[in-house]
Amino acid sequence: MTLNLQEMQCDGPVMWQTSFSDPATTIMEGIITFNTHLTFLLTSIIMFVGWWLFFTIYYYAEFKNMNNSKFVHSKELEIVWTSVPALILLLLSTPSFTLLYSMDEIAAPELTLKILGHQWYWSYEVSDFQTCLKGDTIKYTCYLMLLDGLPENKKGYFRLLETNRRVLLPTNSHLRLLVSAADVLHSWTIPSFGLKVDACPGRLNQLNLFIKRVGVFYGQCSEICGINHGFMPIVIHAFPTLEYHLYVMAKM
């Protein structure tokens, strides 16, 4: 299956980009929605506090109010400055906890992707196919593709983000990711998926993934892991489930 250039570009980095990558999972859509909600609340609070600060400084200057009122206790004020922050925290925590717990939902996976971080490359093992015999696996290793290895027409390819092999995954399927490391701490991160999971030696971290659309998605190691930390790219190529299973059966 081939993807046109526009589809590839929308899931890669863009020059002077200040927004999120186009979401490809429900989790990333939730993160963007929560960010919008949070930004609205913060902007409202800043405007409200700024207006009151300006109002107080301008209208209650010393030369305008020679006889200031003095009081040491106000039940109404205490109720306001206690209840309003509590309400703001409630407005923040409700969608935050909803999103947090939705990330931990477990569904029966159609396949398992085992990810192992090394200095300085990633190795993958795909198993538990529903269309193949139990125990069948596909293993491969992904290194950074040097500039000399890119096609002559480099349009649509990203320097320091391309790998010698792309991780092939199906769309609209529940996937289980098992992440670990062989040497030091790494972090497997795909912005378009809203995923960032630590790869720790001697420990397996599990997360679920459901890719909603076709595309080529880019990521990098997000944990400083040594001198070549910046040269551990991740490339995910997602395409329709039927075509993926046909590919797997051909490989087996």
Question: Which tens digit of pLDDT belongs to each residue from 86-132?
Answer: 999 999 999 999 888 888 877 888 888 999 999 889 999 987 665 55
Reported as a single tens digit per residue, the pLDDT across 28-82 is 999 999 999 999 999 999 999 999 898 888 777 666 666 666 767 778 888 988 9
Which residue segments constitute the domains of the chain, with CATH numbers given?
Answer: 26-102 (1.10.287.90), 111-251 (2.60.40.420)
CB atoms under 10 Å from CB of 18, counted, come to 5
The sign of the dihedral angle between the CA atoms of 167, 216, 219, 37 is negative
Nearest-angstrom CA–CA distance, 188 and 235: 11
The sign of the dihedral angle between the CA atoms of 77, 79, 82, 85 is negative
Q: State how far Cα 164 lies from the chain centre.
A: 23
* Residue closest to 101 by CA, chosen among 165, 27, 48, 173: 27
Question: Number of C-alpha atoms within 13 angstroms, CB side, residue 3?
Answer: 19
Nearest-angstrom CA–CA distance, 22 and 15: 15
Sequence-separated (6 or more) residues with CB below 8 Å from residue 90: none
113 backbone dihedrals φ, ψ, rounded to 5° = -110, 115
Nearest-angstrom CA–CA distance, 249 and 252: 5
Question: Number of C-alpha atoms within 13 angstroms, CB side, residue 9?
Answer: 9
Question: Which residue type is seen at 164?
Answer: N
Sequence-separated (6 or more) residues with CB below 8 Å from residue 240: 1, 170, 171, 172, 214
Question: Which has the minimum average pLDDT: 19-33, 136-150, 192-206, 210-224?
Answer: 136-150
Q: pTM of whole model > 0.85?
A: no
